[in-house]
Amino acid sequence: MKKKNIASSANIGLLTMVIALVGAVAAGVIYGVGYEQKRSVTSSAKGSGAPSGAHYNLNIIGVPKGKTADMTGGHRIFVPLVGKCSIALSQGEFAVLDGNCTDGKGSFQLPSPDPDNDGVTTYSVWARALGKPGGKSETTTCAFDALGVEYCSASTMIQIRNKGKSTFSDVSRQLLYVYTDLDGDGILERVPLFDERLRDYFWSYDNNGLKIVQLRFYEIPTNVN
């Protein structure tokens, strides 16, 4: 009888462990996705405010005097510290084609962000202002139609260097699309970069003393719908 009781106790203990293990696995299946989402949001919300992971970095640097040297390549574009210039955009892998915008025009290459225009980007852009507090810049995405009429987006990236720590924000909507009324019906259309409805895309950069705008391009989507 004692042996039978010992065996029964062992079986009960084993059954209890199995039930606990199954429960733990079930909980992981049920709550695992939510936990991963929460962990991802937490990691992107702390520190600099930008997502974690590999990215392409581009610095837009305001300078008081114009540049004259050849500035192809690198990860920076020089712009007037005070004044406007245009950064021409072309399709391809990330690359600085002309890093000198102090003469009025620079050039940057980047992939098509939303080829099917479903409002979900193939990559995202995050930005923050750096340098001496007090500067401000406005960047608007523009393009031309087949007749040469210029269209600029109703959504502008505004960067202000306030005192204290500077954090990143998602600016994919402002830099990767032109929101404009193409057909004159009073409703804004969403036109992603390199959409065939427009051509010769560019960023119109208007600077008022901002030293640096740091851009990071991540291979993660942004939903602009």
Q: Could you tell me if 201 and 89 are in contact, meaning their C-beta atoms sit under 8 angstroms apart?
A: yes
Q: Could you tell me if 77 and 198 are in contact, meaning their C-beta atoms sit under 8 angstroms apart?
A: no
Per-residue burial over 144-182, b = 16 or more CB atoms within 10 Å of its CB, e = otherwise: eeeeeeebebebbbebebeeeebebebbbbbbbbbbbee
The DSSP H or E segment spanning 129 is strand 124-130
- 4-13, 56-65, 159-168, 176-185: least confidently modelled range: 4-13
- Give 112-154 pLDDT, tens digit per residue: 999 999 999 999 999 999 998 989 999 999 999 999 999 999 9
pTM over cut 0.85: no
The per-residue pLDDT of the chain, averaged, comes to 84
Coil, helix or strand at residue 188: coil
For residue 46, what pLDDT band results from cuts at 50, 70 and 90?
Answer: low
- Give 173-209 pLDDT, tens digit per residue: 999 999 999 999 999 999 999 999 999 999 999 999 9
